[in-house]
Amino acid sequence: MARGAVAAGSPEAVEAGLGVLRDGGSAADAAIAASLMAGVSEPLLAGLGGAGLAMLRTAAGEVACLDLFAAMPGLSGKTGGPMREILVDFGTTTQPFWCGPASVAPWGVPGGLAALHARAGRLPLARLAEPAARRAEEGQPVSRVAAVIFEMLASILQEDAGAAAAWRPGGRALPAGAVMRRPAYAETLRAFGREGAAPFQSGAVAAAAVARVGAAGKLSMEDLAAWAPAWVAPLSVAYRGAVVHLPPPPSVGGLLLAQALRALEQGGEVPAMGSAEEALRLAAVLGLGDRARRERIPRGIGDPAFVDGFLTALDLPAPRGRIPGHTTHVSVVDADGAVVTITQSLGETAGIEVPGTGMWMNNLLGEADVNPPAARIPAGARLQTMCTPVIVEHAGGVVALGSSGSSRIRSAVLNGIVARVDHRAPLRLAVDAPRVHVDEGQTLLEGAGRPAAVVAAVEAALPEARVFREPTMFFGGMNAVACGPLGVEAAGDRRRGGAEGLA
């Protein structure tokens, strides 16, 4: 019988986590190993130069949120220069992002993973970093999904001439099957294993990064040294007999999911899974969040009084404690029943490596959902994020899930919660089921996998809806694990090359 499970964005990340579980590591250890491997197997989605959020549920049932998200730079007074705009083409739609030195924010992955290890790890940190380091050194074949992402982010990858030569040899994106060797990044991973976060916040890596962005960026040694991880209580929402634990601010996604779950429960039973009626119901609820995201939350999320008022209106308590793109997600359950779920992101990358380290820097200041112009986030304060790792306790079991996908994270996770809690779907079906999303007032429907009659019914009810008729990574990559009376389950999202495995 399986004694643990890992779901992640690549088979290599899954195997790194499973290897740790088989060696007696905890869920936290496995999540760290898988997250570090994601920076090698999903190189433009994750890495030590990124940020994220995590949720931990101990074997005793205690739940906590770990904030390892990025902060606003500028503590040194540097103002930086302009960012460069690029459009990422998802086929049926495009999304603007900004890159370059001015888009780099202080990262949180090194400090966050070190904090997770200090609280819940068993094996040495060097053991957890070694699989990723060895893979970076020996070579990682480019996956089909990675090749697509290389092509999507082609204009960003030209930002740094040295990096472009490695990532776009001859001016062409690396094709699927090509082997990437990153010996410098292997040594950077080993430095993390030996020294933890210190090199990345006050040591050689930090100094090299600040020198590289120069006067064109806001990032300074003061910004990196001031950043610290934070453990905080989650937002815990009762939903149809389940308890859904969500990350509080700086997660915009957590607030919006709390709102959506309240609206769904108040509206009565959710229609049959996969029906047009269910899609329309989810679209209506997601529309509420879309309006809140555009009109209220970006300006108010940094104000505790606003957050308290927003939650009071939902009949939810305020969180205890305050927290001063492209993503990937890892979920793990261990033999003791402890679970960890981590969403991390480099944005789309700034297009810049830290010299001598192989470490890509994020462009989180260049994402409108993370750094909305209306928010006026002060230096040192956390940026906003759609990262929404979630832990659900229901029917005697526990589910840990989350998703990649920028603004689509909240809808992917909501679709997954409804499939699991309302419809009692197996985890594989909950992850694979077609999704609906609402953005800027428009309903976006994943038509692939739906009967033609269902798609036609939604189009008739919502003539402005945009239907994605072919499979696409646009709708996110939800990776989930579960444990309970029926044993252990795991499901990685095939939309983004996700995988799963049992230990």
What is the three-state SS of 206-233? Answer: HHHHHHHHHHHCCCCHHHHHHCCCEEEC
What pLDDT, on the 0 to 100 scale, is given for residue 91?
A: 61
Q: Looking at the domain assignment, is residue 12 inside a domain? A: no
CA quadruple 73, 351, 362, 29: dihedral sign: negative
Q: Would the pLDDT of 240 be above 80?
A: yes
For residue 364, the SS3 value is helix
Domain end, chosen from 331, 366, 401, is at: 366
**470 to 186, 368, 414, 445: CA distances (angstroms):** 37, 27, 22, 11
Residues 118-140 have a mean pLDDT of 97
CA pair distance 264, 254, nearest whole angstrom = 15
Q: Looking at the domain assignment, is residue 6 inside a domain? A: no
For residue 243, the SS3 value is strand
What pLDDT, on the 0 to 100 scale, is given for residue 462?
A: 95
What pLDDT, on the 0 to 100 scale, is given for residue 322?
A: 34
Residues counted in the chain: 503
Q: Kindly state the helix (H) or strand (E) to which residue 194 belongs, with its residue range.
A: helix 183-195
Q: Backbone dihedral region of 424: left (phi > 0), alpha (psi from -120 to 50 degrees) or beta?
A: left
User: Residue 298 burial by CB count (10 A; 0-12/13-18/19+): exposed, middle or buried?
Assistant: buried
- Which stretch of 13-22, 158-167, 371-380, 437-446 has the lowest confidence by average pLDDT? 158-167
Is residue 421 within 8 A of residue 392, CB to CB? The reply is yes
CA pair distance 22, 392, nearest whole angstrom = 25
Q: Looking at the domain assignment, is residue 36 inside a domain? A: yes
Q: Which of 372, 330, 326 is nearest to 350 (CA)?
A: 326
Do 222 and 163 share a structural domain? Answer: yes
Terminal-residue alpha carbon distance, the chain: 9
CA pair distance 497, 310, nearest whole angstrom = 36
Of residues 502 and 96, which shows the higher confidence score? 502
How far is Cα of residue 447 from the mean position of the Cα atoms in its chain? 24
Of residues 161 and 182, which shows the higher confidence score? 182
Q: Would the pLDDT of 295 be above 50?
A: yes
CA pair distance 448, 53, nearest whole angstrom = 30
What's phi and psi for 446, nearest 5 deg?
-80, 100
Banded model confidence at residue 319, pLDDT cuts 50, 70, 90? low
Q: Looking at the domain assignment, is residue 79 inside a domain? A: yes
Banded model confidence at residue 156, pLDDT cuts 50, 70, 90? confident
For residue 407, the SS3 value is helix
Banded model confidence at residue 386, pLDDT cuts 50, 70, 90? confident
Is residue 41 within 8 A of residue 66, CB to CB? The reply is no
- The CATH number linked to 314 is 3.60.20
Q: Looking at the domain assignment, is residue 20 inside a domain? A: no
CA quadruple 28, 34, 39, 44: dihedral sign: negative
Do 467 and 350 share a structural domain? Answer: no
Do 406 and 356 share a structural domain? Answer: no
What pLDDT, on the 0 to 100 scale, is given for residue 324?
A: 31
Q: Looking at the domain assignment, is residue 339 inside a domain? A: no
Of residues 33 and 166, which shows the higher confidence score? 33
pLDDT in tens, 199-220: 999 999 999 999 999 999 999 9
What pLDDT, on the 0 to 100 scale, is given for residue 151?
A: 75
Banded model confidence at residue 476, pLDDT cuts 50, 70, 90? confident
Is residue 435 within 8 A of residue 419, CB to CB? The reply is no
CA quadruple 174, 159, 48, 407: dihedral sign: negative
Do 246 and 184 share a structural domain? Answer: no
CA pair distance 419, 451, nearest whole angstrom = 18
What pLDDT, on the 0 to 100 scale, is given for residue 143?
A: 84
Q: What mean pLDDT, rounded, does the chain reach?
A: 89
Do 245 and 222 share a structural domain? Answer: no
Q: Would the pLDDT of 221 be above 90?
A: yes
Of residues 198 and 180, which shows the higher confidence score? 198
Burial 420-447 (b: 16+ CB within 10 A, else e): bbbbebebeebbbbbbbbbbeeebbbbb
Do 489 and 424 share a structural domain? Answer: yes
Do 240 and 208 share a structural domain? Answer: no
What pLDDT, on the 0 to 100 scale, is given for residue 170?
A: 74
Of residues 372 and 457, which shows the higher confidence score? 457
What pLDDT, on the 0 to 100 scale, is given for residue 321?
A: 39
What pLDDT, on the 0 to 100 scale, is given for residue 395?
A: 83
Do 183 and 103 share a structural domain? Answer: yes
Burial 191-202 (b: 16+ CB within 10 A, else e): bbbebbbbbbbe
What pLDDT, on the 0 to 100 scale, is given for residue 323?
A: 34
Banded model confidence at residue 327, pLDDT cuts 50, 70, 90? confident
Of residues 173 and 56, which shows the higher confidence score? 56
Do 223 and 105 share a structural domain? Answer: yes
Q: Looking at the domain assignment, is residue 10 inside a domain? A: no
Domain end, chosen from 333, 366, 399, is at: 366
Of residues 120 and 142, which shows the higher confidence score? 120
CB count within 10 Å of CB 488 equals 21
What pLDDT, on the 0 to 100 scale, is given for residue 317?
A: 64
Is residue 51 within 8 A of residue 386, CB to CB? The reply is no
What pLDDT, on the 0 to 100 scale, is given for residue 348?
A: 83
Residues 437-447 have a mean pLDDT of 91
Do 357 and 465 share a structural domain? Answer: no
* Amino acid identity at 288: L
Residues 469-484 have a mean pLDDT of 89
Q: Residue 467 sits in which domain range? A: 232-323+387-496
The tokens describing 292, both together, are: 């809140």
Do 243 and 260 share a structural domain? Answer: yes
Percent of the chain beyond pLDDT 90?
Answer: 66
Residues 102-114 have a mean pLDDT of 97
What does DSSP say about strands 487-491 and 499-502: parallel, antiparallel, or unpaired?
unpaired
Q: Looking at the domain assignment, is residue 464 inside a domain? A: yes
At CB < 8 A and 24+ separation, what contacts does 77-83 make? Answer: 78/215, 78/217, 78/218, 78/219, 78/220, 79/218, 80/213, 80/215, 80/216, 80/217, 80/218, 81/215, 81/216, 81/217, 83/363, 83/365, 83/366
CA pair distance 474, 93, nearest whole angstrom = 9
Q: Would the pLDDT of 303 be above 70?
A: no
Do 250 and 174 share a structural domain? Answer: no
* Amino acid identity at 368: A
Banded model confidence at residue 467, pLDDT cuts 50, 70, 90? very high
Q: Would the pLDDT of 134 be above 90?
A: yes
How far is Cα of residue 381 from the mean position of the Cα atoms in its chain? 20
Banded model confidence at residue 306, pLDDT cuts 50, 70, 90? low
CA pair distance 135, 411, nearest whole angstrom = 33
What's phi and psi for 54, nearest 5 deg?
-140, 155
Q: Kindly state the helix (H) or strand (E) to which residue 28 belongs, with its residue range.
A: helix 27-41
Give me the half-sphere count of Cα atoms (radius 13 Å) on the Cβ side of residue 257. Answer: 38
What pLDDT, on the 0 to 100 scale, is given for residue 157?
A: 77
CA pair distance 413, 317, nearest whole angstrom = 22
Total-model pTM: 0.92
Could you please report the per-residue DSSP string of 304-347? HHHHHHHHHHTT-PPPSS-----EEEEEEE-TTS-EEEEEEE-T
What is the domain count for the chain?
A: 2
Of residues 284 and 474, which shows the higher confidence score? 284
